[in-house]
Homo-oligomer: A and B are copies of this chain.
Amino acid sequence: MNEATRFPPGALPGDTADPGRALFALVARLFPICRSITGNGVRETLAILSEHVDIAVREVPTGTQVFDWTVPKEWTVRGAFLRTANGRTVVDFADSNLHLMNYSEPVLRRLSLEELRPHLHTLPDQPDLIPYRTSYYSRDWGFCMTHRDYLALPDEEYEVFIDTELADGALTYGEVFLPGETDREVLFSAHICHPSLANDNCSGLAVLALLAQTLARRRNRFGYRFLFAPGTIGALCWLAANEEATRRIDHGLVVSCIGDGGGPVYKRSRRGDAVIDRAVDAVRCEGRRVATVDFSPFGYDERQFCSPGFNLPVGLLQRSAFGSFPQYHTSADNLDLVQPQHLASSFRMILDIVEVLEGDWLPLNLSPKGEPQLGRRGLYSATGGHKVTSDVTMGYLWVLNLADGAHTLLDIARRSGLPFRDIAEAAARLKAGGLLADAGPSA
């Protein structure tokens, strides 16, 4: 098996070296759609993503029991506004789908401002931004608006018009599986339930769709599974339907907020020392190392993948960490926050992580007693006595010294301080020279 054929490092989406434009274009198409944990917004989003890679669309009927949860009624929204008595529209879903609290029940009423206030959500500290609010599992309704507009509301009667429907239907999610040479799998997951929030998570959807498109064109050692599912309930639906399959997952990443210029920040898996937790150390993004933080049970669907009953080796990869940037969960998480160059560098970082996972293996030194004579194989300087040794030579020496069956290439890269690519290259040459055996992939 030729490593180079299996994973040509240069191949990028659309066969171009600049994936930023394609990624941004996709984010821009997904942005306006009103998504929720169920409904046509999800289906429309999956249809667009399917232009890049074949996606199996799964529908889980309302009422289906998944672990401790029940699939809720499907939510449809046709329109919503708030009008003064004299007919002036003060909030309109047509302007921004954030204006309507997600999963609002249908309402057609007249209310005084006092009666209305508990249903109005604002951000007093960010008075020009509309917050994002949901009420999936508790029957409620509400409008989200800027605090500035809220303060300007005249004290009069208002007409509340919320034309939504909560009816038996289904929860929809998308799944891509790219078979690999082995039955071991890598899981990538992005939540698909947020409405017009560009970084959280149109960016994740776009990056993973084009990643799937890229990997589909290659031979891969691992199978790659991509989930585009509504947060929590969607991940639980997949887990409930695939309990056996989870045992084949060797590595996984939840991806969100991946299009801005911050970070990158990686939250380790619950295990804390999984291969994926170490693989992120071997890559760079815009010249920076990936900052890592310990697992905590709050965030995205790593919460479910890392629940104690599954405890999968799945971490969370982001640029700016959720909750840490001011635009988070507001109308400012828009197409200005997400930039083509950052999408491109995030995409390349994830490809580099894939390269580490694909390229990691367990070398066995076939000449373990003393060093083999590298010089006669052209792998060592013919002239001796120099004060320093090249990184190339050090790569050979480190691989040979640690190729004892207890260290993968990733381990050797970490121990030596040399880049993973250099270690992988050294190992490939030593293997070609008959000095190493491949004891199989790492896991």
Contact = CB atoms under 8 A, between A and B. Distances in A.
Interface in A201-240: 232, 235-236, 239-240
Interface in A98-115: 101-102
Contact of A136 (B235, B236, B328, B384): B384
Given A365-B309, A389-B298, A137 B370 contact: no
A296 to B, nearest CB: 8
18 contacts: A68-B372, A102-B384, A102-B385, A133-B384, A137-B375, A239-B370, A243-B369, A270-B401, A296-B398, A297-B394, A297-B398, A307-B368, A307-B401, A308-B400, A308-B401, A308-B402, A308-B403, A309-B369
Given A133-B384, A382-B137, A369 B307 contact: yes
A297 B373 contact: no
A418 B345 CA distance: 36
A373 B69 contact: yes
Interface in A314-352: 323, 328-329
Given A68-B367, A239-B369, A372-B68, A384 B307 contact: no
B370 A307 contact: yes
A304 interface: yes
B304 A394 contact: no
A138 interface: yes
Contacts of A232: 370-371
B137 A376 contact: yes
Given A67-B370, A132-B385, A307-B371, 20 more contacts: A67-B367, A101-B383, A121-B383, A133-B383, A133-B385, A135-B382, A137-B373, A142-B383, A232-B371, A239-B369, A297-B397, A297-B400, A298-B397, A303-B397, A308-B400, A308-B404, A311-B404, A323-B387, A323-B388, A329-B385
Contacts of A69: 370, 373
A13 interface: no
Contacts of A101: 383
Contacts of A310: 369-370
Interface string A283-323: 00000000000001110000110111111000000000001
A62 interface: no
B371 A401 contact: no
A270 to B, nearest CB: 7
Contacts of A50: none
Contacts of A368: 307-309
Contacts of A400: 297, 307-308
A308 B397 CA distance: 11
Contact of A394 (B136, B298, B307, B384): B298
A382 B138 contact: yes
A134 interface: yes
Contacts of A264: none
A131 interface: yes
A323 B385 CA distance: 10
Contact of A370 (B135, B235, B375): B235
A67 B375 CA distance: 15
A140 interface: yes
Contacts of A371: 68, 232, 297, 303-304, 307
A404 B307 CA distance: 9
A378 B400 CA distance: 57
Interface in A225-273: 232, 235-236, 239-240, 243, 270
